[in-house]
Amino acid sequence: MGQRQELSTSGLAKWQSRKRQQTLTVNPPQRSLRFMTTSQTTPHIHYDTEEIRKFEAMAAEWWDKHGKFKPLHQINPQRLDYIDAKIGLAGKQVLDVGCGGGLLAEHMALRGASVTGIDRSPKALGVAQAHAKQSGVEVNYVENDAETWSQQYAQAYDAVTCLEVLEHVPDVPRTVKACADMIRPGGMFFFATLNRTPASYIKAIIGAEYVMRWLPKGTHEYGKFIRPSEMYSALRAAGFEVKEIKGMSYSMATGQFSLSDDLSVNYLGCAVKPA
């Protein structure tokens, strides 16, 4: 009996030891790969081919105000006015990262900026080029990504815009750092993305993709949405001084977006590269 009790006690001790090891090695909080430092991620992966494929499939609808990009058409005036008010677009050298079909890039050019738009979707760039030609607007569109482009264009721009793009890239801090590298001292970085909250899941995914059907199902992945605290961290790590973050709220009554203090779903902001 004593020997069995000794064995039982020993077995219990071993089980408790294994349990403690599992607790230590299996259950710690895991950081998202998208928010690790650049040295901790694969250096040559600058964009998500699956995300590119999604947008390639609907590239023809970029300039259809009632098509799959209806939400971008709705928020574009607010985005454009916000950028222009902060930096004064006339005469500025501006890079639009993830320009897609050129909604923002073309309108910034119309306000007097010299604009380059880069994207990894050949179809979207084809639409952007065709629309710019038809509209008589000069925009330089190039198939590229921020990380690659930054290697040749360090401190080349007065401002870099990266709107509704960061929630689709594989490594947010790396993309933000690449944008910082391309901005001249004193220049500005403009960003817009989706917060990771229950409200954003309900409105941006359930509402926009399944109920309103503004976007194809699967356009967004909730796990890729970016909390403002995470955005702040990426901006500070890139050397930026964050100036402002504002919400973009949608009114069912008016069918319009407006700037607000509600960051629970969409938000945009600006940061300065110190002189």
The answer to whether residue 206 is domain-embedded is: no
Domains identified in the chain, total number: 1
Beta strand pairing call for 157-163 and 93-97:
parallel
Decide: 126 and 63 in contact? Cβ < 8 Å: no
CB atoms within 10 A of CB 31: 10
Q: How far apart are CA 229 and CA 244, in angstroms?
A: 13
DSSP 8-state assignment for residue 61: G
Give long-range contacts, CB 8 A cutoff, 24+ apart: 136-142: 137/106, 137/109, 137/110, 138/109, 139/102, 139/105, 139/106, 139/109, 139/115, 140/115, 140/116, 141/99, 141/102, 141/105, 141/116, 141/117, 142/116, 142/117, 142/118
The answer to whether residue 134 is domain-embedded is: yes
DSSP 25-59: HHSSPPPPGGGS-GGGS-TT--S-HHHHHHHHTTG
Residue 35 has a pLDDT of 52
The answer to whether residue 242 is domain-embedded is: yes
Beta strand pairing call for 157-163 and 114-119:
unpaired
The answer to whether residue 251 is domain-embedded is: yes
**Locate tokens 């992966």: which residue?**
45
Decide: 107 and 138 in contact? Cβ < 8 Å: no
146-164: per-residue pLDDT in tens? 999 999 999 999 999 999 9
Residue 219 has a pLDDT of 83
Token reading at 59: 């590239």
Question: Of 71, 77, 113, 95, nearest to 190 (Cα)?
Answer: 95
At 173, is the pLDDT very low, low, confident or very high (cuts 50, 70, 90)?
very high
The answer to whether residue 75 is domain-embedded is: yes
**Locate tokens 């710019």: which residue?**
132
The answer to whether residue 2 is domain-embedded is: no
In sequence order, the β-bridge partners of residue 215 are none
14-48: per-residue pLDDT in tens? 434 444 443 333 232 333 445 544 434 444 567 77
Q: Model-level pTM greater than 0.85?
A: no
CATH number of the domain enclosing 64:
3.40.50.150
Exposure of 235 by Cβ count < 10 A (0-12 exposed, 13-18 middle, 19+ buried)? buried
31-90: per-residue pLDDT in tens? 344 554 443 444 456 777 777 777 677 778 899 998 888 889 999 999 999 999 999 999
Reading phi first (left if > 0) and then psi (alpha if -120 to 50, else beta), residue 164 is in left
Decide: 185 and 62 in contact? Cβ < 8 Å: no
The answer to whether residue 210 is domain-embedded is: no
The answer to whether residue 16 is domain-embedded is: no
First vs last C-alpha separation in the chain: 79
Q: 105 lies in which domain range? A: 44-196+223-272
Beta strand pairing call for 266-272 and 241-251:
antiparallel
